[in-house]
Amino acid sequence: MNMNHLMDGYSLEVSAKAIPALAKAASRIAPGSIISIPYLPNEDDEARLAAARAVRALGFTPMPHLAARRITSQAELESFIHRAVTEAGVEHCFVIAGDPATPKGPFPDSASLIESGLYERAGIKVLGVGGHPDDHPVMDVDHRWEVLEQKCQSIARRGMAPLIVTQFTFDADIALAWLATLRERGINYPVRLGVPGPAGIAVLARYAAMCGVGACASMWSKYGISLGKLLGTAGPEHFVDRLAAGLTAGHGDVRLHFFPFGGVEQSVKWISEYRSHHGLSQH
């Protein structure tokens, strides 16, 4: 696959509290890039909406997350979407189930958010859902595929464009196999493949444990990490090299989605240096 295509139009996951770091790095990020704003339990709707407004003001495309089980009522969901659209020009949203075992309101999962009908009525054009190349903490493999297919079909029926954004993984071969299966099942929507930005190895290990991402010794090795050097810093160059080498036209539209665990500026710097090293055009 053309490396430029893979690296062009990358997206970033940026929490509300990291917006100042995004502003510092903004000049090195292509205008219009998708900035995904996670639904963190320690950030309220006002913080998330302020982040979406700031992302739009910086010239990027805000994609706020909505966590089904954390939303207390349909009115709360409707208010957030309405304000996001009118105050920040939001056209992209991302839906997840969320961490609580018991829903705080009427939405038990991301499918119920999609089926609320609120997104298309508010003018949302792209609705993102999660993909899981590694194991899922609750669902088995067959159930994962079935649910993903159903959610994409529901989004498309409602006149919106499905976008699949995956959890990060450390093993490019797992990612490639997952993409191949996705396309074999006839799910041909665009994918943004989760990549951990450069960070301390201990930090990466902590996030992997929190997110249920596999990180065994062999996987660390494939990622270019020696278990004898846990105090160092690791970037995703081995992962991206292997991914780019293995991708074909049959894998469809695939771009990278960076989780900047080591900081937004560090990830943007790594991307710029990687592009330069491979002779790729800068934005």
Task: pLDDT tens for the chain, 283 residues: list them.
Answer: 456 677 788 999 999 999 999 999 999 999 999 999 999 888 999 999 999 999 999 999 999 999 999 999 999 999 999 999 999 999 999 999 998 889 999 999 999 999 999 999 999 999 999 999 986 556 667 889 999 999 999 999 999 999 999 998 888 999 999 999 999 999 999 999 999 988 777 777 776 766 666 655 556 566 666 555 555 666 688 889 999 999 999 999 999 999 998 899 999 999 999 888 777 666 5
Q: Which amino acid does the sequence have at 91?
A: E
Per-residue pLDDT, 117: 97
- Beta bridge partner(s), residue 257: 11, 194
Q: Any idea which fold 3-275 has? A: TIM Barrel (3.20.20)
**CB-count burial class (<10 Å; 0-12, 13-18, 19+) for 169:** buried
Q: Are 261 and 234 in contact (CB under 8 A)?
A: no
In the prediction, which pLDDT does 93 show?
Answer: 98
SS3 208: helix
Token readout for 178 is 């997952």
> Pick from 10, 5, 43, 41: which is nearest to 19 by CA?
43
Tell me if 184 sits within 8 A of 176, measured CB to CB: no
Tokens of 6: 């893979």
Instruction: Specify the pLDDT at position 215.
Output: 59
What's the confidence (pLDDT) of residue 28?
A: 94
Positive or negative, the CA dihedral 66, 179, 10, 267 is positive
